[in-house]
Amino acid sequence: MNQSKISVRYSKAIFESAKEKNLLNKIYEDFQLIKTSIKANENFYSVFTSPVVKSKDKKDVLKNVFSNSINELSMRFLLMLIENKREAYISDIIRDFSSFYREHKNIKEVVLTTAIDIDKSISQQFANNVEEKLNCDVEIVTNVKPEIIGGVVVRIDNLLLDMSVETQLRNIKSELRIEKY
């Protein structure tokens, strides 16, 4: 089965179950915590997705790490992934679940990428402007990528506005090559 089909099916199943039990917000928060844990600790993700580590050991690690932090439904879901040998899809499942959640709640994901860290008040002001213009709630994510040199790259869902110095320099370079010939 196609990897994306697997993650979509599992994420849709947990989404519908959470919606039915009125736990959407809690499961979303749980998945954000799991996503943060995966990003923060490569070893955790490696153990969780390793085919060499026994299922029982994976379950024990999950219970030790998350038993007091996440909802029972989230824990049962994670344990079921391990039982079904689908734990390698956890990142994709979380991504797809988050998309379903944001669509259901009319939340736009806005990613601001800058060369240096920006002040929270600036990102919040930007989020407020987007909320007003698009008539939706906004979930803002900030990234720092020094290689863009300056400016900003804004992604709202699948729309991209690249006003980075890096891109402008690349465009100038490309235009100079064209004019040269």
Residue 133 identity (one-letter amino acid): K
pLDDT of residue 4: 84
Coil, strand, or helix at residue 22? coil
Answer whether 64's CB lies under 8 Å from 37's CB.
Answer: no
Answer whether 148's CB lies under 8 Å from 164's CB.
Answer: yes
pTM for the predicted model, two decimal places:
0.83
Torsion angle, CA of 118/121/127/128, rounded to 10 degrees? -160
pLDDT of residue 176: 86
pLDDT of residue 31: 97
pLDDT of residue 34: 95
In order along the chain (181 residues), what is the average pLDDT of each group of 10 residues?
A: 83 97 97 93 86 93 92 97 94 95 95 95 94 94 95 92 95 84 60
Longest dimension (CA), the chain: 66
pLDDT of residue 157: 83
pLDDT of residue 181: 60
